[in-house]
Amino acid sequence: MLPIVRRRPLGHTLTARAVLAACAVAVVSVLVTALIAVPIAVRGVERQARDSLDQQAQVAAKLLRPRLGSGRTGDEERLIRQLRTEEIEAYLIRAGQPDRPGLPPQVVARVTAGRNVSAVRPIGGRMSIVVGHALPDRNGIVLVSPRPTGLWRQVLRIIWLPLLAGLAAGAGAGVLIARRMVRPIRNAATAAARLRAGDRRVRVPVEPPQEAAELAYALNDLAAALATSEGRQREFLLSVSHELRTPLTAIRGYAEALADGVVAAEGAQRAGQTMLAEAEHLDRLVSDLLALARLEAADFPLVPARIDLAALVRDAAEAWGGRCAAAGVLLRTELPAPEVPAFTDPGRIRQVVDGLLENALRILPAGAPVVLAAWSSPAGAVLEVRDGGPGLTDDDLAVAFERGALRQRYEGVRKVGSGLGLALAAGLVRRLGGTIEAGHAAEGGARFTVTVPTPSVSPYEPRTQA
C-alpha cells in the first residue's frame, strides 16, 4: 500500500512559517531600532545645535560687551548679518529692553536678571533653540535658531535599505533554519509511512536538536517493538497451529482406523476415549483463543458478585485433588481466615485458578508441592498459586504474561503448552479490575499472585462497559 501524500497550502508548512517568523523578527528589530535610535538622534542633534549656538553666543557676547552701552554700531550690524546667513537671529538687550520684539518676556527677564538662558521656546510661531548670555548693566545677547526638523523623514528615507536587508537576511535564515528543523520531521514521516507499509527494518537517523533525537529514538523503539511483536505473533501462530494439528491428527487417525475397520471391537472403546480426550483438548484450546480474542470487547461477559475466595480455593483443591494425586503432586491449601470476601466474577476467577494449576501440573515432577492460598489485604482479596517446579528466571518474569513468550523460550527444553494460559489469566484479571504478578515461590518454583477488589471497593464495574 503506497503512503498517502497530503499536500498542504504553502502557508501551512513549517518552512513557510519559519521564513515568515524570521522576516517578522527582522522587520520588528529594524523598527524597534528606529524607534529607539531616532529620538536619541533628535536629542543628539538638538544638543549639538544648542552647544554650537551657545559657543556663537559666547563669542558674540565678548565682541559686543564693550559696545552695547554706546548704541548700535557697524560691528553689531555686520555680526547680525553674518548670523542671519546661518539662519540665526540675534537680539540685543540694552538696559533690560530688547532691540526688537519677538522674544518671550521670560527670556528677556532672565537675561536682564543676569542669568544665562538655554532652552527651546516658540519664536515666531515655530519651535526654536534659544540661547542667551547676560552682560553687565542689564545688557545681554540672545541668539535664536530654528529647531532641527525632518529627522524622522530623513531616518525613514535611510531605513528602507536596512529594512530590505533585514527581510532578505530573515528569509535566508528562515529557509536554513526551517530546512534544518524539517529534515528530522520528514525523516520521521518517511519512516512512519514505511512502518505502515510493513517495513520493520526502517530506522530514523538520530540527530539534534534533542526533541528530534527523542522523536527518532521513539520511532526506532516502535519499529523494534513492532518487529519483536510480529515475530512473537508468528511464533505464536506456529505454536497454535501445531497445538491444533496434534489433536486433529489423533482424531483423524482414530476416525480413519474405525472407518476402515482396523480397530477391533475390544479397542473401539479405547479409541473413542482417546478421540474424546483429544476433542476436549481441542475444545479448550479453541475456547482459550476465543476468550483471548474477546477480552478487549465491550460485550465480554462478566457477572460480578460477592464471593468467598476461601471457599473457592477449597472447591478448586477438591476438584484438582484427584489429578494431583494421580501425578504424584502434593496439593495443599493455606487459608489463614475461614472467609476471604471478594467482589468478582466467580466463574472467571475460577478459570484463572484452573489455568494456573494446569500450567503447574504440566511441569511439576512427582513429589513436588503446589499450594493454593487466599487471604485479605489492604489492597484487596489475594489469591496465590505457588509450586515447587523448575520456576522462572528474572527474564522470564518480565515476559511471563505475553502470548507465546515462555513457549518460545522453553520449547524443546521442558514440556510446554499452547502459550495462551498465562496471557489469558492476565487478561481476565485485568478485566476483573485486579492485578496479577509473577515471582519466585518459597517452594522453589513459580509464584502467581492475583489481587481482586473487595465488596467495599468494586472499581471494575465501569471496565465491563465500552
Give the pLDDT confidence score for residue 237 in this predicted structure. Answer: 65
List Cα–Cα distances, 80 to 95, 111, 119, 233, 260, in angstroms. 19, 19, 21, 106, 144
Give the span between the Cα atoms of 407 and 109, in whole angstroms.
Answer: 111
- pLDDT single digits (tens) 230-250: 776 676 666 566 556 667 777
- pLDDT single digits (tens) 361-383: 888 999 999 999 999 999 899 99
For range 159-182, the mean pLDDT: 73
| Averaged pLDDT score across all residues of the chain | 79
- pLDDT single digits (tens) 55-75: 888 888 887 776 666 655 666
The distance from CA 335 to its chain's CA centroid, rounded to whole angstroms, is: 48
- pLDDT single digits (tens) 68-123: 666 556 667 777 788 888 888 888 888 888 888 888 888 888 888 888 988 888 88
For range 261-289, the mean pLDDT: 76
Residue 152 · residue 74 · CB < 8 Å: no
Residue 333 in this model has a pLDDT that exceeds 90: yes
Give the pLDDT confidence score for residue 299 in this predicted structure. Answer: 62
Nearest-CA neighbor of 275 among 295, 252, 305, 257? Answer: 252
| 235 vs 211: which has the higher pLDDT | 211
What the chain holds in terms of domains, given with CATH numbers, is 218-294 (1.10.287.130), 305-464 (3.30.565.10)
pLDDT-derived band of residue 280, with 50, 70 and 90 as boundaries?
Answer: confident
Poorest-pLDDT segment among 126-130, 133-137, 300-304, 324-328:
300-304
pLDDT-derived band of residue 6, with 50, 70 and 90 as boundaries?
Answer: low
Place of cell 501425578: 327
Residue 385 in this model has a pLDDT that exceeds 80: yes
Q: DSSP of 196-263, one letter per residue? A: HTT--S--PPP-SSHHHHHHHHHHHHHHHHHHHHHHHHHHHHHHHHHHHHHHHHHHHHHHHHHHHT-S
| 412 vs 214: which has the higher pLDDT | 214
Give the pLDDT confidence score for residue 298 in this predicted structure. Answer: 59
pLDDT-derived band of residue 297, with 50, 70 and 90 as boundaries?
Answer: low
Nearest-CA neighbor of 219 among 206, 235, 234? Answer: 206
Give the span between the Cα atoms of 423 and 400, in whole angstroms.
Answer: 8
Residue 134 · residue 116 · CB < 8 Å: yes
For range 139-167, the mean pLDDT: 75
For range 34-56, the mean pLDDT: 78
Nearest-CA neighbor of 340 among 442, 452, 438, 433? Answer: 452
For range 325-337, the mean pLDDT: 92
Give the pLDDT confidence score for residue 151 in this predicted structure. Answer: 63
Give the span between the Cα atoms of 397 and 155, in whole angstroms.
Answer: 76
Residue 7 in this model has a pLDDT that exceeds 60: no
Residue 195 · residue 226 · CB < 8 Å: yes
Give the pLDDT confidence score for residue 122 in this predicted structure. Answer: 86
